Copies of this chain bind each other. A is one copy, B any other.
Amino acid sequence: MPGDDVRFYPAERLREFSARAFEHLGVPPADAAQAADVLVASDLRGVDSHGVARLRPYLDLLAAGRINPRPNVRVVRDLPAAATVDGDNGLGLVVGPRANEVALDKAEAAGAAWVGVSNSNHFGMAGYYPLRALDRGLIGWAMTNSAPLVAPLWGAERVLGTNPIAVAFPAGEEPPVVIDFATSAAAYGKVEIAGRKGAPLPPGWGVDRDGNPATRPDQVIDGGALLPLGGTRDGGGHKGYGLAALVDILSGVLTGAGWGPFVPPFALRQGEPARAVGRGVGHAFGAARVDGFIDPSEFRRRVDDWVRTLRATRPAAGTPGVVIPGDPERLAEVERRVTGVPLLPAVVADLRDISARTGIPFD
């Protein structure tokens, strides 16, 4: 994170502050600690957009009664390798980990499992969940739908979320391979940053309100939309659209949650969706036992070999060379465990404001 104006905070302090803030709004201590852990794991891994910078909208939605602080999270459908969890409109940061554990338990018993979740809310960084699978020697994956920001290819309005997917594979001597990405070409936050800088928009990031290619950030922000991964038809935008659709159907349509343009927003200032097609945000979690496929120690050796082979790819001229998925986040965590988490002034101001209003000390 660039700039001299950031301040560094130990992860433990951010975790404790966040947990106390959730408790202040009625979240039971164990759930508050879990929610804080998801946020701060994101800050540690350098995914600043999903860390304590988001604490305020979670608290706002709790304070407004739009999120249930004490949900009765329960399994409503149950087969050996498939289940559905109703999150009772709880924090996604609480419902998600609970449902993910159901998927991990089922995968351990049956070899593989899928768990769908309805009636949840924003679940934080998607990569958090497959990392829990790694703790148990499993392969894990997670996805979620989210409030509409993305136009399908050849559309002119926001109909799909940035619908991320994350998958993690255990390795042996090498670090695990952790793949975690939104299915839009770029994040909305990046468009906003380009807007503040007055920079033009790279091709394929978005469209204006008529669906024409956006060349300026304000065209996307003022009634336009992001584009799916691939951008235009030539770039393969139909593929990114297919990927976003698959996440939306698995997470939302299949689980009984909201879907597409009707996924509830993650901000108090945005109203409820135009039509109630289901309950809340939807997620899907999955896991698989390695020994359903291959001897686990052989798999670890093979992943090591894969990682080393990919890393040894001849680098493209003028680039840092091939990066293994998960490396940037892992390296960020190594650094931030030493330096602390760098927070931008606006985030520090937000946390101080929360501190002033709740009496929970910060800083």
Q: Is the CB of A254 within 8 A of B156?
A: no
Chain A count of residues within 8 A CB distance of the other chain: 93
* Nearest CB in chain B: distance from A68 CB, A: 21
A277 contacts chain B at the CB level, 8 A cutoff: yes
Q: Is the CB of B293 within 8 A of A153?
A: no
Contacts of A184 in B (CB 8 A): 236
As a 0/1 sequence over residues 62 to 99 of chain A, the CB contacts with chain B under 8 angstroms (1 = contact) are 00000000000000010111111000000000000000
Q: Which of A156-170 contact B (CB under 8 A)?
A: 156-157, 159, 167, 169
Q: Is the CB of B153 within 8 A of A294?
A: no
Please measure, in the bound complex, the distance between the C-alpha atom of A107 and the C-alpha atom of B81, giving whole angstroms. Answer: 8
Please measure, in the bound complex, the distance between the C-alpha atom of A156 and the C-alpha atom of B315, giving whole angstroms. Answer: 5
Residue of A153, A181, A238 with most partner-chain B CB within 10 A: A181
Please measure, in the bound complex, the distance between the C-alpha atom of A191 and the C-alpha atom of B290, giving whole angstroms. Answer: 38
Q: Is the CB of B185 within 8 A of A235?
A: yes
Q: Is the CB of A245 within 8 A of B77?
A: no
A356 contacts chain B at the CB level, 8 A cutoff: no
As a 0/1 sequence over residues 296 to 311 of chain A, the CB contacts with chain B under 8 angstroms (1 = contact) are 0011001101100110
With CB as the reference atom, state the residue of chain B lying closest to A178: B242
Q: Is the CB of B306 within 8 A of A260?
A: yes
As a 0/1 sequence over residues 197 to 225 of chain A, the CB contacts with chain B under 8 angstroms (1 = contact) are 00000111001001110000000000000
* Nearest CB in chain B: distance from A106 CB, A: 8
The complex is assembled from copies of this chain, and their number is: 2
Contacts of A322 in B (CB 8 A): 152-155, 159
With CB as the reference atom, state the residue of chain B lying closest to A157: B314
* Nearest CB in chain B: distance from A306 CB, A: 5
Q: Is the CB of A82 within 8 A of B289?
A: yes
* Nearest CB in chain B: distance from A90 CB, A: 19
A-B contact pairs, 20 of them (CB 8 A): A79-B112, A79-B291, A80-B111, A82-B112, A83-B292, A110-B110, A112-B112, A153-B323, A154-B323, A155-B322, A157-B313, A157-B314, A179-B242, A204-B204, A229-B240, A230-B240, A245-B325, A249-B306, A253-B299, A254-B293
Q: Is the CB of A210 within 8 A of B246?
A: no
Please judge, given known A-B contacts A254-B139, A254-B290, A292-B84, whether A259 and B302 are in contact too, CB under 8 Å. yes
Q: Is the CB of A111 within 8 A of B84?
A: no
